[in-house]
Structures are given as C-alpha cells and as structure tokens.
Amino acid sequence: MDGVNSGRDTVHRNSGDLSEEMTKNLILQSQEAKKRSYCPYSKFRVGAALMTSDNSVITGCNVENASSNLGLCAERTAISKAVSEGHKSFKAIAIASDLCDQFISPCGGCRQFMREFGSDWDVYLTKPDSSYIRMTVAELLPASFGPEDLSKEKVFNILNEY
C-alpha cells in the first residue's frame, strides 16, 4: 500500500528507510519496552524503540513520578538515552501503547524533541496488534521551529535591521 495522504489515516506513505522485517522488529522492541513502563499514576504504558542511522536500536518507556510534572514520555526517554550514548542521527522511532482502537500518537513535547534531530525521519504509530501508520516528523510537526532557526547568521541579520 503506497497511498499518499497526509493524515493519520495513512497506512503506508512509501517504502521508507526500513525493510518490512526491520519495521516489524522495531515495533516488537517498542512493545517489549512498553512492558518496562513505570506508570503507577496513569497506568498508561508506553514503549518506544528508536533506530539510529547505524541501525542500533535504543528503547525507552515512560517513567512517571510522584511529582507528576516530572514524568518522562517513552519517546523522550529513548532519544535521551540515544544522545547520551553518542547517537544524533535517527532513521525511525516506533511507539507502542495498550490502546487497541487507535494508533498511539506522540505528544507535542515529544514531536519537538524529535524535530531537534531533523524533520525527515519516520515515526511509527502502532497498535498492540503491530499494525501501524508511518508519518515523518515533519508531518507530525509542520512549520516547525528547529536548531537551524537559531543560527548565528540569521540572528545577526535580524539584529542588523535595528
């Protein structure tokens, strides 16, 4: 299925960077990470599996806290783990939850966190039966603000106008 469609109903945009087997495996690893979720407050388990450009897979789960605003999403856990291990280039992230009737979709904070490392990589929104929709970071966060917008040259040009 190669339907081109920008909404969340899109099942497959194109073949993406990952083979069908790599995709299946990434989703499986996100489901395994979900089992390690620490979510005593929401009871909403989420797992993520992030594939780096050198095909390493780094997982994360949500980690909640009694001081509730300190909780971490699964996606941000995985990305922070990856960056702290020296990875900054990513191919894809799969996200798993226990929602059966909808594909889990990353929160706004996580979209921006993904965007920090580029707009042109894939996010797999999945269901427990391993079905998925794939969207790019750019599709999830259009007209985004990113690190390039802080470039010295741009800031310099703006300052020169005054």
Catalytic residue among 20, 64, 75, 139: 75
Cβ neighbors of 124 (< 8 A, separation 6 or more) are 23, 26, 27, 30, 92, 93, 94, 95, 132, 133, 134
Q: Is 38 one of the binding residues for ligand DUR (CB under 6 A)?
A: no
Q: In the bound complex, what is the minimum distance in angstroms from residue 75's beta carbon to ligand DUR?
A: 6
Q: Is 62 one of the binding residues for ligand DUR (CB under 6 A)?
A: yes
Cβ neighbors of 153 (< 8 A, separation 6 or more) are none
Give the burial string for 38-55 (b: 16+ CB within 10 Å, else e). ebeeeeebbbbbbbbeee
Q: In the bound complex, what is the minimum distance in angstroms from residue 132's beta carbon to Zn ion?
A: 18
In sequence order, the β-bridge partners of residue 58 are 50
* Of positions 16, 71, 118, 146, contacts ligand DUR by CB under 6 A: 71
* Annotation says 148 is catalytic: no
Which residues contribute to the site for ligand DUR (CB under 6 A)?
Answer: 39, 42, 44, 46, 62, 64, 71, 73-75, 95, 104, 106-107, 110
Residues tagged in the binding site annotation: 73, 107, 110
Residues tagged in the binding site annotation for Zn(2+): 73, 107, 110
